[in-house]
Structure 1
Amino acid sequence: MKLRFLRIIVGIVLCSCTNKGGSLFSGASGLPSYSGIDFDKIFSQKDNTFEHKDSILSVLNTYYQKIWEGRHLSGGLLIAKGDNIIFEKYKGYAKDNKREPIGRDTPMHIASTSKTMTAMAVMKLVEAGIINLNQALTDYFPNFPYKKVRIIDLLTQRSGLPKYEHFVEEIKPAPKQLNKKFLTNQDILDLMEAYKPPMVRPANTGFMYCNTNFALLALIIEKATKAPYPEAMQEILFKPLGMSHTFVFQEKDIPTAAQSFYASGKRCPLDRLDLIYGDKNIYTTPRDLLRFSQAMYSPKFLNEELRKKIFIPYSNEKKGIRNYGIGFRMKIYDGGRKLVYHNGWWHGTNSVFVHMLESKTTIIAIGNKFSKSIYTAEELSGLFGDYPEEREALLLALKEKND
C-alpha cells in the first residue's frame, strides 16, 4: 500500500517539476532532571533505516521545493528516522534587517509546541515524588477559586478554566496589572483569584484547549522547584538533554531573539501577553527539538507507568479521531494507530512537532513568517506509517497550485 502510494506521488511531483535521563537528580541545582540518557543506545539499526528510501527522499525534496520555496516560507524543516537525520533545510531570516540568515543553530519561537516540554518537566517532578497528578491546584494556590481543578486536568486540557487571553480583555474597569507593558504568569493567577472569571465547563468533563492550563503549570513548576520557570526548564530538561540552543524567552531576550513576521513580511510587534510562559515562549532549533524527541523514545526518559500515561487519550466523551494526552495532541485511527504531535501558532510563528511512536520518526517544522502551509509538514507522517488520511492530504497539497 505504501509503495503504491509512493509511486503515485513521485510520479505526480516529477511531472510538476518538469512543468516548472536515567538519574533523577543531578547537578548543583539538585532538581530532578532527564540526565543519564545514553543517546547512543536508544535506537537500533532498524530504527535508523526505512524502506523505499529513494522514493521518500524524492517526495521530501519536491515537497520542500513546492511548499517551502514555492510559498516563500521562512524557517527550518527536519525529518529524522531514529537518530538518522534524513532531511534538513533552512531558509529565511531571523531579523527584519535580513542580516541574520536562519541556520541550524538559530533558536526560533515554537509557540504552543512549548506545551510538550512544560508537560514533561511536570512529569519528571511527578516521577521524583514532588508533584502528584491528582493534586488540586489549591495545594499550590490556596486562594484559587476553582476548587475541583487538578494538575492532571491542566495537563490533559480538561480543566474547564477560562482562556487568559480572553478574560483579561473582559475585566472592567481594567485593573492596574493590565496597564503594564507585559503581564506575567503571576498576574494571570492574581487576576483569576481577584475577579473569578466563570469556568467554561466543570472540571474534568471534557476537552477544551486552553493556554491558561499551561501558564498555571509553569507556576506550579516554580512552586515545586523554588526556581523560576526559565531556570527550572534549563536544569530539568534543556541542559541534561544537550539542548544547547534552547531557552525560555524573557524580557532580556527581546534585543537578540529571532523575530516573527506577518505573511506580508512585516515584523510582528510584541504585546502584553508575550512574556507569559509555559503555554508558549520556548525558543529552540529543529536539532534541539529532535534531541527532545529522541530522548522520549528512551525507556530511561520516565518510568514505564508514567511513559504510558503520556499517550493515553483522556477525552473520550465524543467520538472522533482527535484527542489529547499529556501535553500532546493525537489522532487515533482504526486499530488503535496513534499519530502523536503538537502544533503551535503565536503572532507570526507556526510550528509542527510529530513524534511517531511506532516508526520512531520525528518531523519538525518551525516557521517565523506566518503561513498555514507550515502545518502540511504533519502530513509527511504518511510517508513513514500507515496513515492513509495523511497521505491523501499530502498528495492534495502537492497537487495544489502556488500563487
Structure 2
Amino acid sequence: MKQKFVAFLILFFLLVSCKKDENSSLKNDLPNYGNVELDDVFNKEDSKLINESEIENTLQLYYDKVWEKGELSGGFLVAKGDKILFEKYRGYAKENDQIPITKNVPLHVASVSKTLTAMAVLKLVEAGKIKLHQKVTDFFPKFPYPEVEVFHLITHRSGLPKYEYVIDEMKLNPPHGKYFTNQDVLDLLIKNKPELARNTNTGFMYCNTNFALLALIIEKVTKNSFPIAMQKMIFQPLKMKHSYIFQPKDSLRAAQSFYNRGNKLFPNDKLDWIYGDKNCYTTPRDLLNFSKAMFSEKFLRKSLKDSIFQPYSNERPGVNNYGMGFRMKNFDNGERLIYHNGWWHGSNSSFSHLLKSKVTIIAIGNRFSGRVYSALALSGLFEDFPPEKEKLAKVLSDEKEQPKEISEPKEVSGDVTE
C-alpha cells in the first residue's frame, strides 16, 4: 500500500511539473499579434447593413437548402465587422454520433491552414527574422533547389514537386513509423532530388510542399515546434482559444472526418502528420478572430499587409490568382474577392475575407461535400461580384442547381482554379 502511495505521489508531481513546463514553454517571447485589440478593430458603421433583415433571410434560405438538405456536418458563420449575422452548427465530431459540433469544437480546415502559416511567416518578416526574398538554402544548406526563395513558397511560384505525388510515384514509405513528417519531406527532396514541376518563378503552381517547408522554416527561426510557435504567434494573442496544430498526441481529441453520407470514417493516411499546408484545427469563431485581426491596422505594418492581397501570378490573363497565403478572384469590374478553400479526407472548408465590406464568411465541414465551397458565392450579397451573385442565385432558385459533389480541387498553371 505504501509503495502504491509513493508511486501516486511521484506520478502527481510529474504531471504538475509537466504542466508547469508546458505553460512556461508557451510564454509569448516570439513576434506575435498581441498588439491587436479585437474589440477596437471596427467602428459602429463597419458592422451596419442597410438591408440586414433581407440578408439574414437569404442566409437562412441558403443554410436550409445547402446544409440541412445536404445533410452536411460542421459549422457555418457570416459576420460583418464585429456583428455575427448568421451562425449554425450541426453534426458530430466523432463516430457513432459522439460529441455534437458546437461553436467550441475545433474542426480540420485543411488548406485554409495555409493562410495562418503565411501570416506567421510575415510576422517573422516584419520582425526581421526572415526576409521574403531569402533563399531556402539559407535555412537548409543541402536543399537542392538554389533559386527557390521564401517568396516563391508563400506565393506558390517555387515550381517544387508536390510531395504527395513524389511519395506516390516513388512508392516511398515513411522512414520512421507509419507517417511522414515535415522533416521527412525535406529529407526526401534532399536525398532524391526530384525534378522541378516547372521552373522557379515562371508561374503559379499550387503545391503543398511550399507550406510544409514554410512550417520547417518557422521552426528553424523560432527554435520552437511549429504547433508551439503558432500558439505563441497567432492563437494565443488573437484569443483563438480552441485552435491548435495537430500533433500525434491530439489523435484522441481531434474531430474525425466522414464520407458524404452515413457514419463511415475516412481512414488514416501516411501524410496525416504533415503540417503547415494543413492540420490546423479551429472553429468558425476563432477563425473570425483571425479575420478581424487582419482588418486591423496593427496586424502588420501597412506595406507588408497590403502585399498579402496582391496578385503575383500574372503570366496568363485570368480571373483567378494568388497572393500570400490567399486565393483571389480579380473581376472585370476591378473588384477583388479574397478567400481560401480547403480539402483533406472528409474535411472541406471555405474562408472569405471581404476587404471592402469587412465581411467574413466561414464554412467548415467534416462530412465530405463540395457544397461547402458554395459559401463563397455568398460574397455576392455584400460586394459587386457579378459571377458570385449568379452562382448564389442558382443555388437558391432550385434544388436541382445545388453545387455538385466534387473530388480534389484541381489546379492549372498560370490561371488558378478550384
Q: TM-score, normalised by structure 2?
A: 0.88
The alignment status of 1:168 with 2:167, answered yes or no, reads yes
Counterpart of 1:352 in 2: which secondary structure? strand
Counterpart position of 2:60? 61
CA positional deviation for 1:29: 4.2
Counterpart position of 1:35? 34
Q: 1:346 aligns with which of 344, 347, 357?
A: 344
Query: Would the aligned equivalents of 1:245 and 1:285 in 2 still touch at CA under 8 Å?
Result: yes
CA positional deviation for 1:321: 0.8
Structure 2 CA distance for partners of 1:246 and 1:260, relative to 1, 3 Å: same
User: Does 186-195 or 52-61 show the bigger shift?
Assistant: 52-61
The alignment status of 1:241 with 2:230, answered yes or no, reads no
Counterpart of 1:100 in 2: which secondary structure? strand
Structure 2 CA distance for partners of 1:352 and 1:359, relative to 1, 3 Å: same
What fraction of aligned residue pairs are identical, expressed as a percent?
57
CA positional deviation for 1:334: 2.4
Counterpart position of 1:324? 322
Query: Would the aligned equivalents of 2:174 and 2:270 in 1 still touch at CA under 8 Å?
Result: no
Counterpart position of 1:357? 355
User: Counterparts in 2 of 1:143-162, with a 5 A limit?
Assistant: 143-162=142-161
Query: Would the aligned equivalents of 2:167 and 2:173 in 1 still touch at CA under 8 Å?
Result: no
Query: Would the aligned equivalents of 2:28 and 2:233 in 1 still touch at CA under 8 Å?
Result: no
The alignment status of 1:273 with 2:267, answered yes or no, reads no
CA positional deviation for 1:134: 0.3
Q: Which amino acid aligns with 1:228?
A: S
Query: Would the aligned equivalents of 2:27 and 2:232 in 1 still touch at CA under 8 Å?
Result: no
Q: Distance in 1 between matches of 2:188 and 2:357?
A: 45
Q: Distance in 2 between matches of 1:78 and 1:386?
A: 21
Counterpart position of 1:117? 116
Residues 116-155 of structure 1: per-residue CA shift (max 9 Å, x gap):
0000000000000000000000000100000000000000
Counterpart of 1:47 in 2: which secondary structure? helix
Query: Would the aligned equivalents of 2:115 and 2:340 in 1 still touch at CA under 8 Å?
Result: yes
Q: Which amino acid aligns with 2:57?
A: S
User: Does 39-48 or 275-284 show the bigger shift?
Assistant: 39-48
Q: Distance in 2 between matches of 1:88 and 1:171?
A: 45
Counterpart position of 2:292? 294
Q: Which amino acid aligns with 2:189?
A: M
Counterpart of 1:54 in 2: which secondary structure? helix
Counterpart position of 2:397? 399
Counterpart position of 1:131? 130
CA positional deviation for 1:165: 0.5
Q: CA RMSD in A?
A: 1.2
Q: 1:256 aligns with which of 234, 243, 253?
A: 253
CA positional deviation for 1:36: 1.5
Q: 1:229 aligns with which of 226, 231, 247?
A: 226
Query: Would the aligned equivalents of 1:37 and 1:301 in 2 still touch at CA under 8 Å?
Result: yes
Q: Which amino acid aligns with 1:93?
A: Y
Runs of 4+ in 1 over 6 A off after TM superposition: none
Query: Would the aligned equivalents of 1:73 and 1:369 in 2 still touch at CA under 8 Å?
Result: yes
Residues 368-387 of structure 1: per-residue CA shift (max 9 Å, x gap):
00000001100000001111
Structure 1: state its 5+ residue gaps: 1-26
Counterpart position of 1:388? 386
Residues 274-304 of structure 1: per-residue CA shift (max 9 Å, x gap):
0000000000000000000000000000001
Counterpart position of 1:7? none
The alignment status of 1:86 with 2:73, answered yes or no, reads no
Counterpart of 2:104 in 1: which secondary structure? coil
The alignment status of 1:45 with 2:44, answered yes or no, reads yes
Q: Distance in 1 between matches of 2:38 and 2:169?
A: 48
Counterpart position of 1:311? 309
Counterpart position of 1:337? 335
Counterpart of 2:47 in 1: which secondary structure? coil
Query: Would the aligned equivalents of 1:33 and 1:237 in 2 still touch at CA under 8 Å?
Result: yes
Counterpart position of 2:411? none
Query: Would the aligned equivalents of 1:180 and 1:272 in 2 still touch at CA under 8 Å?
Result: no
Q: Distance in 1 between matches of 2:174 and 2:41?
A: 51
Give the number of aligned pairs: 375
Residues 250-284 of structure 1: per-residue CA shift (max 9 Å, x gap):
11111111000011331111111000000000000
Structure 2 CA distance for partners of 1:340 and 1:182, relative to 1, 3 Å: same
Residues 81-139 of structure 1: per-residue CA shift (max 9 Å, x gap):
00100100000000002021100000000000000000000000000000000000000
Counterpart position of 1:70? 69
CA positional deviation for 1:350: 0.3
Q: Which amino acid aligns with 1:189?
A: L
Counterpart position of 2:183? 186
Q: TM-score, normalised by structure 1?
A: 0.91
Q: Which amino acid aligns with 1:299?
A: E
Query: Would the aligned equivalents of 1:311 and 1:328 in 2 still touch at CA under 8 Å?
Result: yes
Query: Would the aligned equivalents of 2:174 and 2:180 in 1 still touch at CA under 8 Å?
Result: no
CA positional deviation for 1:50: 1.0
Q: Which amino acid aligns with 1:46?
A: E
Q: Which amino acid aligns with 2:303?
A: E
